[in-house]
């Protein structure tokens, strides 16, 4: 690799050719402030907070985009640099809604961090301020343009998802980031993935807050309130309480939910195991009976909406299985209520998910097979964190507790649903043993793991060679589907997760600031914790789950039975792109 030598504030560093000044300063141990910069997503030098002096140039340069050259001399802390950064910061703040104490991002805001770093105590440039209405029509996402700083990080991440429903409108002082024709985010082909929320450095985009609905339900003596938690929540929730990224808090989470007042605490991992039984059987049925292939997974509601809007010709390829969230909700309002003599009208199901699109999914009318919505309210990981803090629980020091039985047992195959490639791997663990009738030599199918945008694998199952592909991020899914459409690629089975990295970095997960993302990739760190939990499980294949076996014996008869189809399967519809 060709390298160059650069002098940054008197420190000489050797960096790969093509690096930026920001990269070189980091190696030199110097922290240049940034705001619009988001590694790998938004590298445009728009905010001018990262300005530096470069010897031999007349103007200050944006270090996040300025390439280094051999012998370059850079100064990052001169009076001119400090004053330029402060002026740019004050100009950004001059028409910003500075109601920090009531902002969802208070104490987790990159703009707030910069104001503290540069000792901004007063704004010298108070002037005209435009007030915009808050867009809260979406079931998942709220936009507040009054807090927007025009960094364009949300625009870049939405484009990388292959959706591109927001962008800059108007010019100059009146520039605003919004959907076309001043529409609500609810009236454009937004897929509710929430990646824009994770990208936003301030509180301009946030999830629809449903915490008060849950508090109200918990206080209603006429309701039996139960909760389920998704696989990815357990490797991220601790971050809301200052714990290390990727810390597993499964037992503490169950304990906290009981202390909040939930009548029963269940694990969505149970229905992830159930999903494998249903989806694996569906896959084998399609292969043997000449059904529509490739079979495409249906666990990610953001991906489903993307497909409905942009690729409706693939709807017959999508598995008819509901997502694990909806499967468990349907069982809670059928099997669970029958077993416990409860009135389904008085059973209130709350889901804790890493995903903002799950809020959209829960209100889909077709997901109410019992006559009641499968799931009543969806909370994000962040919302649960706020509830725990409001209740005054010392989360890091809570004792570990187990999930409630009957719908709480799960295997390692279920927990890996939280990482990209996990559904595929879990399905193949079961399908392989069903087809061959003997245990796998190695159940860890590493070909489908990792954060490469599209991964391919061929798995020999007896006489059957299964060709599989995994895509995460709908931008990658789009590229994959185009190859399938053209005939360039042929597969039996495709897994798609709407969010880059899968559910571990879903739109409802704890927000990791851009600076921290430069050092640690949440997709990798949280996924590693997911795989650790899988290895620690006594059972690691979905078809070995004793509670799933019991459910089929007592209630569903067998995978893909008529009863199973009534409760656990659904259909999807082509949607207009507005």
> Hey, where are the domains in the chain?
3-92, 95-121+135-207, 212-568
At residue 578, the pLDDT reads 64
Supply the pLDDT for residue 520.
Answer: 95
Contact 52, 60 (CB under 8 A): yes
For residue 83, say if its preceding peptide bond is cis, omega within 30 degrees of 0. no
Span 212-568 CATH architecture: 3-Layer(aba) Sandwich (3.40)
What is the distance between the alpha carbons of residues 236 and 525, in angstroms, rounded to a whole number?
A: 10
Specify the pLDDT at position 460.
86
Q: Which of 178, 207, 282, 409 is catalytic?
A: 282
* Catalytic-labelled residue, pool 279, 308, 383, 409: 279
Query: Is the CB of residue 30 less than 8 Å from the CB of residue 11?
Result: yes
Nearest in space to 511 (alpha carbons), one of 36, 107, 89: 107
CB 296 within 8 A of CB 306: no
- In CATH terms, the fold of domain 3-92 is Ubiquitin-like (UB roll) (3.10.20)
- From the candidates 338, 366, 402, 558, which is the catalytic residue? 366
Q: Does domain 95-121+135-207 have CATH number 3.40.50.2300?
A: no
Beta strands in 160-267 (DSSP E): 167-169, 176-178, 205-207, 224-229, 264-267
Catalytic residue among 358, 455, 478, 541: 358
Strand order in the sheet with 454-461: 295-296, 493-497, 464-472, 454-461
Q: Clarify whether 358 is annotated catalytic.
A: yes
Burial class (CB in 10 A: 0-12, 13-18, 19+), 561: middle
Q: Which two tokens stand for residue 374?
A: 């499968």
Question: Is 319 a residue of the active site?
Answer: yes
Supply the DSSP symbol for 67.
B
- pLDDT lower than 70: segments of the chain: 577-578
For the record, the structure tokens of 416 come out as 């890996």
Query: Active site residue: 361, 383, 425, 433, which one?
Result: 361
DSSP state of 101: G
SS (H, E, C) 513-546: CHHHHHHCCHHHHHHHHHHHHHHHCCCCCHHHCH
pLDDT in tens, 522-539: 999 999 999 999 999 999
Which among 140, 359, 503, 542 is annotated as catalytic?
Answer: 503
Assess whether the region 3-92 and the region 212-568 belong to the same CATH fold. Answer: no
Exactly one of 196, 299, 307, 321 is catalytic; which is it?
Answer: 299
Catalytic annotation on 299?
A: yes
Q: Which of 319, 351, 410, 542 is catalytic?
A: 319
Q: Report how far residue 21's alpha carbon sits from residue 18's, in angstroms, rounded to the nearest whole number.
A: 10
């Amino acid at each position: 690799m060709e390298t160059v030598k650069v002098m940054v504030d008197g420190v000489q560093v050797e960096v790969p050719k093509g690096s930026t000044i920001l990269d070189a300063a980091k190696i030199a141990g110097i922290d240049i402030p940034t705001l619009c910069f988001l590694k790998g997503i938004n590298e445009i030098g728009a905010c001018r907070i990262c300005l530096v002096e470069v010897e031999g140039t007349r103007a200050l340069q944006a270090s996040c985009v300025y390439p280094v050259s051999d012998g370059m001399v850079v100064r990052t802390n001169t009076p001119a640099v400090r004053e330029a950064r402060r002026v740019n910061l004050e100009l950004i703040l001059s028409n910003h809604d500075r109601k920090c104490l009531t902002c969802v991002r208070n104490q987790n805001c990159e703009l707030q961090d910069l104001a503290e770093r540069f000792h901004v105590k007063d704004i010298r440039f108070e002037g005209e301020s435009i007030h915009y209405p808050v867009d809260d029509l979406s079931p998942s996402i709220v936009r507040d343009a009054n807090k927007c700083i025009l960094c364009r990080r949300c625009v870049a991440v939405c484009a990388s998802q292959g959706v591109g429903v927001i962008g800059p409108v108007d010019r100059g002082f009146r520039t605003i980031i919004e959907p076309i024709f001043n529409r609500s985010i609810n009236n454009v082909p937004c897929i509710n993935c929430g990646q824009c929320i994770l990208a936003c450095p301030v509180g301009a985009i946030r999830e629809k807050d449903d915490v008060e609905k849950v508090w109200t339900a918990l206080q209603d003596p006429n309701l039996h309130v139960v909760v389920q938690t998704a696989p990815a929540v357990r490797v991220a929730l601790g971050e809301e309480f200052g714990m290390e990224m990727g810390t597993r808090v499964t037992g503490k989470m169950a304990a906290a939910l009981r202390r909040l007042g939930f009548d029963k605490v269940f694990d969505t991992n149970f229905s992830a195991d159930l999903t494998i039984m249903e989806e694996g059987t569906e896959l084998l049925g399609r292969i043997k009976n000449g059904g529509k292939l490739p079979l495409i997974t249906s666990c990610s509601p953001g991906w489903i909406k993307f497909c409905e809007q942009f690729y409706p010709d693939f709807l017959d390829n999508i598995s008819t299985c509901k997502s694990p969230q909806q499967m468990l909700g349907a069982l809670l309002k059928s099997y669970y209520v029958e077993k416990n003599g409860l009135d389904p009208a008085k059973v209130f199901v709350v889901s804790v998910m890493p995903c903002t699109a799950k809020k959209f999914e829960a209100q889909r009318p077709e997901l109410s097979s019992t006559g009641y919505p499968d799931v009543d309210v969806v909370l994000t990981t962040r919302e649960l964190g706020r509830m725990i803090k409001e209740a005054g629980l010392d989360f890091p020091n809570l004792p570990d507790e187990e999930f409630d039985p009957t719908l709480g047992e799960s295997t390692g195959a279920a927990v890996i649903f939280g990482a990209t490639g996990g559904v595929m791997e879990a399905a193949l663990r079961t399908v392989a043993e069903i087809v061959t009738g003997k245990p796998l030599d190695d159940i860890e199918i590493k070909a489908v793991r990792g954060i490469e945008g599209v991964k391919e694998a061929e798995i020999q199952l007896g006489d059957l060679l299964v060709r599989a592909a995994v895509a995460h991020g709908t931008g990658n899914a789009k590229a994959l589907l185009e190859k399938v459409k053209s005939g360039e690629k042929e597969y039996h089975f495709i897994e798609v997760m709407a969010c880059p990295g899968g559910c571990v970095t879903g739109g409802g997960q704890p927000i990791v600031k851009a600076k921290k993302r430069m050092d640690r990739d949440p997709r990798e760190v949280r996924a590693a914790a997911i795989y650790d939990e899988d290895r620690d499980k006594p059972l690691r294949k979905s078809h070995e789950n004793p509670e799933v076996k019991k459910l089929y014996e007592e209630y569903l008869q067998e995978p893909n039975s008529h009863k199973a189809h009534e409760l656990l399967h659904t259909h999807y519809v082509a949607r207009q792109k507005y």
